[in-house]
Amino acid sequence: MRRFLSAIAFLVMLVAVLGAAACGGRFEGEAGDAPSAPDLAANALEALEAKGSAHFVGDVKTGLGAEGMQFSVHFEGDASATAIDANGSVSIAGQTFRGHVLVDQHDLFIEFMGQWFHEDQGLLEGMAEARKDHDGQVWDELATPEGLRRNFGELFDGDVSEGPVTEGVATWQFEGKLDAHGVADFARRYDAQLTDRDEELLAQTAEASHVLLVVGQDDRLPRRLEFGVHFTAEQLEQMKSLGEGPLGDSANFDASLELSDFGKPVEIHPPSEFKPLDALFEQFFSGL
């Protein structure tokens, strides 16, 4: 599976953030003043890059409210610009599968049911794949501090206020939702062709979305990121009328990422024996 890293895109994006080239120390705003939303996001990314690593705990849950359709992913570990060491679990249809993931710059190892599997693609290949679209322009606009500073206010609508005290640290938080018009305009800049139906679906999704970013007031380090979509029954019916909207509670989801223990070295210790990653997929799907 040459493109398997797309299945762990959340982790790759975290490491991409940590490994981005620009690690400058410029921060906007005076200490004690609430920053603007674009500055809050850009400064958080800049501070995270400067630290270079973090411990992370992430969760993704879909099909909220529909027990038989729920799908959830939990992962926890450490990530830097050059390595990921994480444990994770996937729960679907009442079954839970657990595993361990090790990634360095050129290799991916996955442990599942006591066996290790390997793919010769790592962080460098994954980030190169992420940068492909439009010669890396989309990456530069979304995964760099200056790109976030330019685009955050266009893509999200919300306010910055005092956040919760997190591990003894005072924080700022941005809370809001997607900006449908801004997202559509951003997509068009990169040649997306949006129909009237697409824009209506985007408007419904934006209205149902929720975004939360919690950042340390003094160190500007990101502590928590949440993104979710919760459609009401009325919204789901409206989307069905558009022809291709998501159906039922399977459309609803929550994703969260907590970061801590910044700046610690991250090393992996590859297994001595392993099988090709393709063998894992054959084993997994043959058992379903």
37: pLDDT strictly greater than 70: yes
pLDDT at position 135: 76
Whole-number Å distance between alpha carbons of 152 and 178: 10
Q: How confident is the model at residue 199 (pLDDT cuts 50, 70, 90)?
A: very high
Burial 161-194 (b: 16+ CB within 10 A, else e): eebeebeebebbbbbbbbbbebbbebbeeeeeee
pTM: 0.84
Domain of 250, in residue numbers? 4-21+30-286
Ramachandran angles phi, psi of 9, nearest 5°? -60, -35
Tell me how far apart the alpha carbons of residues 283 and 277 are, in angstroms, rounded to a whole number: 10
**Residue 253 forms beta bridges with which residues?**
62, 229
Extract the runs of DSSP E, i.e. beta strands, from 14-163: 53-62, 71-80, 84-92, 95-103, 108-112, 115-119, 156-162
The region of weakest confidence among 26-30, 47-51, 68-72, 227-231 is: 26-30
Residue 101 reports pLDDT greater than 80: yes
Q: Once rounded to an integer, what is the mean pLDDT over residues 229-236?
A: 86
Average pLDDT of the residues of the chain: 85
Question: Is residue 271 scored above 80 in pLDDT?
Answer: yes
pLDDT per residue over 62-76, tens digit each?
A: 976 555 568 899 999
Q: Which residue has the higher pLDDT, 179 or 248?
A: 179
Domain count, the chain: 1
Across the range 211-223, mean pLDDT stands at 97
Given the DSSP bridges, would you call strands 171-178 and 209-216 parallel, antiparallel or unpaired?
antiparallel
Query: 105-158 pLDDT, tens per residue?
Result: 999 999 998 999 999 999 998 888 888 877 789 889 999 999 999 999 999 999
Of 44, 99, 101, 105, residue with least CA distance to 80:
105
Q: Residue 49: pLDDT above 90? A: yes
Torsion sign over Cα 42, 122, 130, 183: negative
Task: Tell me which of 56 and 285 has the higher pLDDT.
Answer: 56
User: Looking at residue 258, which CATH number applies to its domain?
Assistant: 2.50.20.20
CA distance 197 to 21: 39
